Every structure is written in C-alpha cells, then in structure tokens.
Structure 1
Amino acid sequence: MTKVLPKYRNSMIAIGLAMALTACEQEAQSGGAPGQEPRATAVESVIIETQPVEITDTLPGRTSAYRVAEVRPQVNGIIIDRLFTEGSKVEKGDVLYQIDPATYEATLDSAKAELASAQATLQRAKLQAERYRELVKNRAISEQDYEDADATYRAALASSMAAKAAVKSAQINLDYTEIKAPISGRIGKSFVTEGALVTASQTDYLATIQQIDPLYVDLSQPSNTVLKLRQRATSQGEMKVSGIKLTLDDGTEIDQPASLQFADVSVDESTGTVSLRALLPNKDNTLLPGLYVRAKVPVDNVDSAILVPQAAVSRDTTGRAHVKIVNSENKVEDRVVTTSRVVGTNWLVTDGLSEGDQVIVSGLQKIGDGSLVDPQQIDKQ
C-alpha cells in the first residue's frame, strides 16, 4: 500500500480549496452556474429630478451691541451717590451718579444776582436814553449828552445779556452734577464709588451702557460672492438681505432671523474678505455682545438644480467625481460629473447628469461597470 506523506496531503487539500473558491467567485461574478441567466444584484437608487434650491454660505461672526455709550462726567466734583444697579436696564435720561452740587448751586445764585443787578442798570439806562431822545429834539440838551446816554444804555444791554449767559452756564453746570444715561440699554459695572473725585477732562469712563436690542452680527464674506449678495439685495428692492439663520457655537439655533446690512463693503487686501453686518432682533435680551455665531446667508437661487446624495459620489486619483447610474438594460454605467458645492447632505451637480437619470446610492461595493442590478428606488433626502 502506498503511503501519502502528511506534507503532500496538506498541499493537495489547499489546492482543492483554492479551486473551489475560484469556482464560487466565477459563479458569483457570472450571476450563477454556467448555462444559467446572470443574477441581478440588489442596489438602492434615486431618480434625478430638478428642483429650485437656495444657495447659502455659512459665515463666522460675532455679536456686538447696537449702541455703546461710555458714561463720563462733564463737570468736576465728588461723587456723593450712585443711583443704579450694575447690570440692570436703564432708560435714556435716568440719573446714574450724583456729583456734590453745592459749589454749582452757589455759582448759579451768584450769577442770578449779577443778572438782577445788570437788569436794574439796564432799566435805568433805557429810561434815561428815552428822556434824552426827546430833549435833544427840543435842543434842551446837546447831541453829545444824548449820544453818551444812548451808549450807556447799549453797554447796560450788553451787560444784561452777558449776565443771562452766565446764569444759563451756571444752570447747565448744575444740571451736569446729575450724570444721566445718554441712551437706553444695559449698564455694566461701575468703575467709581461714592467719594471718588471726577473731572470733566478725564479719559476714564465711569460705566458703559450697551443697547442690545437689536444686536449687530459682524461677518466676513469672501469678496467673490459679495456681488451676488448685492444683486440679491437689489432684487428684493432694498439694500439688505433677509432670512439669515444663525446658530451659536454649540449648535443652538437662534429663533429670530437676521437681515444683512451693507454697512461696510471694503475688501480686506490681506484676506480677500469683506466685512458685513447683520441686524438681529433680541427682544428678550438673552443674547449678549461678543458671542461667536455661524450665519447661513442666502447668496443665490438655482431654479433647476440637480442634487445627488453624497454617498453616491466617489472620486478617482485625479480628483474627478464619479457616479454609478443604471441604464435602460439595468446595467451599471460610470458617469463623470461636475460638483460645485454641498447643499445639506447632497452634492450640487452642474454637469454630467440629466433629469430622469437613475443614480445608485447604496450597494456600490458589490457591483462594477456592466454589472446587472436590481435597483430599488428610495426617496432622496
């Protein structure tokens, strides 16, 4: 009896298994055993339909206050009272600080006394000038006497006017001892306390008031899309674009839509971007200045756009985009397409596909060019 060596026996088993696997692969690729019809591979596909699409750009930005006012004193003095709560809402004209008014009240009283004296002198000079006007007509006095009386009257009139101005100036300075809010908004922390000496010429401000309803959103837009924005704004009949959707840095959506204002359209030469500004309502004052946001800005409308799911698009080593389509014989064909941008979960295709084409979106790893497929149509998201 011939003995089979263990090593030779193992080799024969390996060769047999390899031949069996090869036969299985050939049968799978041919769709069945020899003499049978090829078996179609099940795939999922979508039918291309054109649709109107609004093209948006996502831009980074930050919120800023609509108005900012730095509260400063306009007269010198000692702060004797602070009349607001830090972080609270104040209205225009509210008294925020009280400067000691004693010296300004005294100055006003002195100015009023000077005015009373000047008005008395004016009255006396006026009566004398009127009497001399009649006397000079009858030649009872000389022309020189009348001219002197008239000059005295005019000097008294000037003194009275100066005294009135002094009273007005003293009253203004007294009013300035009440430091009032120049705008309505939220006031920040106070940088001075009672007892602090402030001066009219100081550069340091006492507090800051910010109006945060509405808010500005400062954005940076590539200069090559600014013209499209301006064309869109003109088509809407006003120099702004509405319908801008904002999200916070953590992805939270802001309910209020913003409108784009063309406040600054100068191009930054170093970055090639344009600084734009959007206006965002903030009725409940929940949003604060300085927040980082992302804005979806509508820049264009495409009436007959072709959208293809991103899963259906692959790229070759040269970067060209390809899709697999199902032809009239239910066989796979490769198609080179041109994509421009991502719209949601889809690619916007500008060339290579037409309405009615059937694009394979799932099962691509099981098929090749010319493969027979059984396409199952699904809804395109």
Structure 2
Amino acid sequence: MRLKKALHPATLALMIGGSILLTSCGENKSNADNNKIPPVAVKIFQTQPLNYTIKTVLPARVVASQIAEIRPQVSGIILKREFDESSNVTEGQSLYQIDPAIYQATYDSAVASVASAEANANIAHLTLKRYEGLLKTKSISQQDYDKAQADSQQADAAVLVAKANLHTAKVNLDYTKVYSPIQGYIGKSNVTEGALVNAGQQTPMALVQKLDPIYVDMTQAATIFERNEKDRDTLYKPAEKVELFFNDGSKYEYNGSVKFSDKTVNETTGTVTLRAEFANPNSKILPGMFVKPHYTLGNIENAILVPQKGITSNQLGNYTAIIAIPMNNTAGGNEQQTYYLEQRNNVKVYSGIPGYWIVTSGINAGEKVVISGLLNLAGRNLNDPKNKTIVNIINIKEPDMLSQKQLDTIIENNLK
C-alpha cells in the first residue's frame, strides 16, 4: 500500500495561518454585528398650525341692569295702588297714592306763612324808608333808624324761612304720589290699600328692575384671570364674546359682550367678577337665574397642539419632547430618507385640552413628535452628535394628525 506524501513544513504553516486568519475575520464580523444597534420602532404625530379658540365655561348668575327699591318718602296711609302687578312700567309712572290730607294742610299753612312774612317785610321796608327822611331832619335819633333797618332785614329773613318751609311742604305733598324712577318690570306689591307706610322704611313697597339689557355676572379664578390679562395681545388675539346656555342645554339667541372686569379679588373664594351684557327684549333671561356662559377670550393663530403622551417632564420639571429629524442618505445612486431622534428640553406649553397640550415654543409646525415607543429610548443620549439614534417610524406614511375640524369639536365637547 502506498503512503501519502508528507506536506512541506512551509505549506503546513501557511495553511494553519490562513485558517486562523479566517477564523479571526469571522469572529470580528460577528462582534460587529452584535455591536450594531437596530433602529428603534416608534410612532409619530405630525404637527401643523391650527387656529385655537380660547373658550371657558364660567359659573354665572343673572342680575338686572338697574334695580329700584320703591320706598315711601313720607308716612301715611296708602289710598291707591296705581299699577298692575307683574307688568312693565315707565319712568315717572305713578305707582302709589299716599293720603295727602295732612300734607296738603301743611302746604296751605306754609303758603299763608309766606304771605304773612312778605306783608311784615313790606311794612318794615316802608318804615325804614320813612325813617331815612326823618333822620336827615334830625326828627329821630340814629338809634331809632338803626333799629328800623335791623327790623327790615329781619323781616326779609323771615320771608326766606317761610318760603323754605313752603318748599318743604310742597316736596312732602308731592311725595304722597310715589313714582317709578326707572323703566322696567315691577313684580308684586308688598303693600295694599289701607296699609300704613313709614318714611324710609326698610321693606320696599315694590321692586322695579330693568331687564333689557340685562347683566350676567361671571366669576373666574384670580390666577387664571391674571394669566389671561398677561397673555392678551402677546399669545392670543382678543376677540371677546359671551355665548349663553341654559341648564337644559339650549343656547340663547343673542351673544353678549364683557362690560367690565372687577379688579377686586374676593378674599373668601379667590375669584374676580366679570360682567357681561345681553340684549333681553323678550325677557327670556330673568334676574336670579343660574346660567352657563361660554366665555371666548380670543384666538391663538398658528397654534401647535401635541398629544399629551408625547410631552414629558425631566427632573428639573421642564417639559420635554422627542422629535424625529429627517436625514437624507445616498447609497448607490438611490436616495433613501431615514430619521434620527433629537430631544427638546425647552418646550413651553400654554394650557391643555383633553388629550393635547398647546405648545407655545420648542416645537415647530411640520415637525414629527414621537408619541409611542418612548420606553425603548430610556437611558439613551439622543442629542449625542456622534451616536445618533436611528428610528423606524411605523406610521410614516399615515402619521397621526389633528385637523381643524377635530380641534373645534374637542373644544366644544370640553365646554359641555
């Protein structure tokens, strides 16, 4: 049997070295594959500019625009009620007649007192005039003339007093007719014919309320009111209006406008009062009613809204978001777009509505915000320029978006 020819030592060494080299290359390739980090799978939200209307529902109560409590200015017996209860009255309309007999007698006496005082004054003036001639001829003393002059002045003063008493008597006589000081609605009468009323009594005889226009007093937390005033003309463009809704959900036909906002904070509730004015020609809104006004402050133009699950906060309490940034790669003449992640730590938000934050800075329109897969990114430095985290966007062809119609629906549903 023939034996195989032994290999040359140099050839054997070459074969062993090649085997070791191939093994080493295989191991290096395997290690490189093990060290390669696969793209992270995430979902994104595509931001776009929207018109956000700032609306809020405030607790409110209806009050009359004018209120007149009818009270007697003089005491006496009510002879007649001269209006229909639960009706509209005009300004200056007579409401009650108080017995004028005693006041008429006082007035007549005052008229007589004026006539008597004027007669006495006339005599005093004639006496003084006669004394002037006698004084020139030295027929009377200077003392007699001075006394006549003082009597004349005193008589004039008595006339003034009598006329003042006459005026008082006339006013009291006029007060026996009780008139409405304003135009409005008058309810039930608290007194009847034959009742005794006293001047300035605490209980009004009736109440007249002006219902057109009518006021709605709204209350708002002082902190929110202060923030809204600060953001006016900077964050949002004012376009104030008030829409009124009743407890059954029906909407009032007229819109109102804010008449004023009280600058005094209620110490007990920490709220301020805003007063809105509404037309009320048919008296559908009545004083004392609790209503639900929808208060519109204005609009944030080109607002950026981001799902709340895409906004987080760091250890410093600042809002953060992760943005998918497009990166163009060219390989073999074919252009392929990939994305890497960038973390924004300077996100500012204005407020929130169900499911979304209104972002005022830190995120621009058209950017893609990561809204799912965030747990896969824990512990990574997304802003390391040397080691960018590449992502596989699951919904890149149809990203989550928010339309203007959807936003308006969310705002309206949030007010219910």
User: Is the TM-score greater than 0.5?
Assistant: yes
**1:244 has 2:267 as partner:** no
Secondary structure of residue in 2 paired with 1:200: coil
Q: Which runs of 5+ in 1 are unaligned?
A: 1-44, 362-368
Instruction: Spell out, residue by residue over 1:112-137, the C-alpha distance to the aligned partner (whole angstroms, 9 max, x if none).
Output: 11111111111111111111112212
**1:138 has 2:148 as partner:** no
The equivalent of 1:148 in structure 2 is: 147
2:398 to 370, 375, 378: 375
Q: How does 1:261-280 map to 2 (within 5 A)?
A: 261-280=259-278
CA shift for structure 1 position 198: 0.7
CA distance in 2, matches of 1:232, 1:321: 22
The equivalent of 1:82 in structure 2 is: 81
Letter in 1 for 2:287: P
**1:196 has 2:188 as partner:** no
Note the aligned Cα RMSD (angstroms): 4.0
Secondary structure of residue in 2 paired with 1:118: helix
CA distance in 2, matches of 1:275, 1:353: 36
1:176/1:233 CA distance change after superposition, 3 Å:
farther
The equivalent of 1:288 in structure 2 is: 286
CA distance in 2, matches of 1:234, 1:351: 17
Letter in 2 for 1:375: E
CA distance in 1, matches of 2:239, 2:188: 36
Secondary structure of residue in 2 paired with 1:267: coil
CA shift for structure 1 position 215: 1.9
Letter in 1 for 2:118: Q
Q: How does 1:339-350 map to 2 (within 5 A)?
A: 341=351, 348-349=358-359
Secondary structure of residue in 2 paired with 1:375: coil
CA distance in 1, matches of 2:278, 2:220: 17
The equivalent of 1:366 in structure 2 is: none
CA distance in 2, matches of 1:373, 1:147: 115
The equivalent of 1:97 in structure 2 is: 96
1:182/1:212 CA distance change after superposition, 3 Å:
same
Comparing 138-147 with 296-305, which one deviates more in the overlay?
296-305
After TM superposition, the score normalised by the length of structure 2 is: 0.65
CA distance in 2, matches of 1:356, 1:233: 26
CA shift for structure 1 position 165: 1.1
CA distance in 2, matches of 1:128, 1:355: 102
CA shift for structure 1 position 279: 2.4
CA distance in 2, matches of 1:243, 1:173: 48
Instruction: Spell out, residue by residue over 1:153-182, the C-alpha distance to the aligned partner (whole angstroms, 9 max, x if none).
Output: 122112211111111111111000001112
After TM superposition, the score normalised by the length of structure 1 is: 0.71
1:355 to 365, 374, 378: 365
Instruction: Spell out, residue by residue over 1:186-229, the C-alpha distance to the aligned partner (whole angstroms, 9 max, x if none).
Output: 11110000010111142111011111222222122122232344
CA distance in 2, matches of 1:140, 1:173: 50
Secondary structure of residue in 1 paired with 2:59: strand
Instruction: Spell out, residue by residue over 1:3-26, the C-alpha distance to the aligned partner (whole angstroms, 9 max, x if none).
Output: xxxxxxxxxxxxxxxxxxxxxxxx
Work out whether residues 308 and 356 of structure 2, in 8 Å CA contact, stay in contact via their aligned partners in 1.
no
